Chains A and B, each alone.
Chain A
Amino acid sequence: MNAPDRFTLFVLDEGEAPVEVNEDTKIPNAATIKILKQDHTLGNMLRAQLLSMPQVLFAGYKVPHPLHPYFLLKIQTDGSIAPDLLLSEACNQLIGTLASLEGKFKREFAFKEADGAGLGATGVGGAGHGGAAFATSDDPYGTGAGTGGTASWGNRDDYLDF
């Protein structure tokens, strides 16, 4: 009844900002960044990318509660760059890696398609294997023994014979 729409777990509300940056007051060059409507998919990937960068002293993320659709990313840098700028740099690097991966997939698929012409035959056809054998032996009413199959129960007068 008052359940929220399921898509509110991954779609931003109207006017909602996807990112909130809170600079840490007690730790130098540190910020806690709240990223809304995202989960471990992005959080872990960003954390790992940040840790691979030399300017980073600390990077970690947490999802405070599994029912709350956001995560917190804490970054501390060595002071040569602000944490939020570093995060956007990390994002750009990841986008670059993804683009490069996409290009490689395209190339590999093109190669595979060139030398595998009979692809369609091996595709979905495999999904139905074994089904046919099963269907023929399938006799849910157990009437197959005497009268040779499924016609047996319908031969007498049936209350459904209108």
Chain B
Amino acid sequence: MNDPILRIRKYERDRVNFVLENVDMAFANSLRRVMMADLPTVAIDIVEIQANTTVLPDEFISHRLGMIPLVSSNCDVAMRYTRDCNCFENCAFCSIILVLNVKCHDSTTMDVTSNHLEVVPHEDQGMEEAGEEQVKRIEKFGSPVGKNEPGVEPILICKIRKGQELKLKCIVKKGIAKEHAKWSPCSAVSFEYDPHNKLRHTSYWFETDERAEWPLGENAAEEEAPREGEPFDFNAKPSKFYFDVETDGSLGAQEVVMKVRIIVSFLSF
């Protein structure tokens, strides 16, 4: 059995760059697909607008709210899907409530941002004991990523002038990006192999000189350049894959990469 070789080149809280070797292209691509579309996160799914006198229509604001990344660490065990929950509509086990209530009283334009979104407990919460899911949630679970953190620019939802107000209640649900891209933990996943195009999986368009018009990427330094006049090896297979996973902050890069184990659950039928 082939054993993958892994090297992490760069690792930050919200991005990880790694090289994967000795695996099949199909395997590497499945890894990429899983990171983008199969990992659960939480996002605003339902918005109840109580007052909106801003210039933006309700659906416009709802859509913008849905796109805001929310802290989703450990979300696969800390939250239920509403479809798996035995509640009537939504409850403390399968949803989180965020409220936003702002009114502009100044004579200057005011920014309504993700910092105004507040997590509030469910009405029935506290009456019964916190379930096993809630215990696994971290403190900031469900609140906008980077809220009130120094150096993090909040996400602008809308701008309001004097006398305008925006008051709404958001219901946050768990989901995956196959349902809606807002649930994707990744903002970008780059995937490259064969930087010298030795395998000729692509053909470059050029005007006069291919080499001059298509400069090599930084991954090209990892592999030996083809010699001049080297015969084409039609049996060669790609085996070294360069990944760069960048998350929107809802899950950390490490968490995203570690959760690819979710494929095992697909395979265990």
Binds A, one of B59-67, B123-131, B159-167, B221-229: B159-167
Ordered by A's residue number, 20 sampled pairs between the chains whose C-beta atoms are within 8 Å are A5-B83, A41-B263, A42-B263, A45-B29, A45-B263, A49-B24, A94-B27, A96-B1, A97-B1, A99-B264, A101-B260, A104-B5, A124-B249, A125-B151, A127-B249, A151-B107, A154-B107, A158-B163, A160-B161, A161-B163
> A68 within 8 Å of B by Cβ?
no
Contact of B27 among A6, A48, A112 (CB under 8 A): A48
Contact of B261 among A45, A48, A98, A123 (CB under 8 A): A98
For B, the interface residue count at a CB cutoff of 8 angstroms equals: 59
> A44 within 8 Å of B by Cβ?
yes
Shortest 7 CB-CB contacts between residues of A and residues of B? A154-B107, A123-B13, A160-B163, A131-B153, A48-B26, A128-B153, A104-B6
Do A116 and B11 touch (CB < 8 A)?
yes
What are the interface flags for A36-57 relative to B under an 8 Å C-beta threshold, 1 for contact and 0 otherwise?
Answer: 0010111011011100100000
> A93 within 8 Å of B by Cβ?
yes
For A, the interface residue count at a CB cutoff of 8 angstroms equals: 61
CA distance A112 to B46 in the complex (A): 39
Contact of B14 among A6, A52, A127 (CB under 8 A): A127
What are the interface flags for A78-116 relative to B under an 8 Å C-beta threshold, 1 for contact and 0 otherwise?
Answer: 000000000000010111111111101110110110001
Interface secondary structure of A, over-half rule: helix
A52-B24, A160-B161 are contacts. A127–B269 as well, Cβ < 8 Å?
A: no
Do B11 and A109 touch (CB < 8 A)?
yes
Contact of B109 among A7, A19, A131, A150 (CB under 8 A): A150
Interface secondary structure of B, over-half rule: loop
A41-B33, A108-B6 are contacts. A10–B108 as well, Cβ < 8 Å?
A: no
Contacts of A38 in B (CB 8 A): 266
Do A124 and B14 touch (CB < 8 A)?
yes
Binding site for B on A (CB under 8 A): 5-7, 9-11, 18-19, 35, 38, 40-42, 44-45, 47-49, 52, 91, 93-102, 104-106, 108-109, 111-112, 116, 119-120, 122-128, 131-132, 135, 140-141, 150-151, 153-155, 158, 160-162
Binding site for A on B (CB under 8 A): 1-8, 11-14, 18, 20, 23-27, 29-30, 33-34, 37-38, 81, 83, 106-109, 145-146, 149, 151-153, 159, 161-164, 175-176, 178-180, 249, 254, 257-258, 260-261, 263-264, 266-269
How many A-B residue pairs have C-beta atoms within 8 angstroms? Tell me: 156
- Centre residue among A91, A94, A116, A135 by max chain B CB count within 10 A: A94
Do A97 and B146 touch (CB < 8 A)?
no
Contacts of B4 in A (CB 8 A): 97, 100-101, 104
CA distance A96 to B264 in the complex (A): 9
CA distance A139 to B245 in the complex (A): 35
Tell me how far the C-beta of B57 lies from the nearest C-beta in chain A, rounded to whole angstroms. Answer: 19
Query: Which residue of B has the minimal Cβ distance to A109?
Result: B254
A9-B178, A41-B33 are contacts. A119–B12 as well, Cβ < 8 Å?
A: yes
Contacts of B178 in A (CB 8 A): 9-10
CA distance A25 to B6 in the complex (A): 44
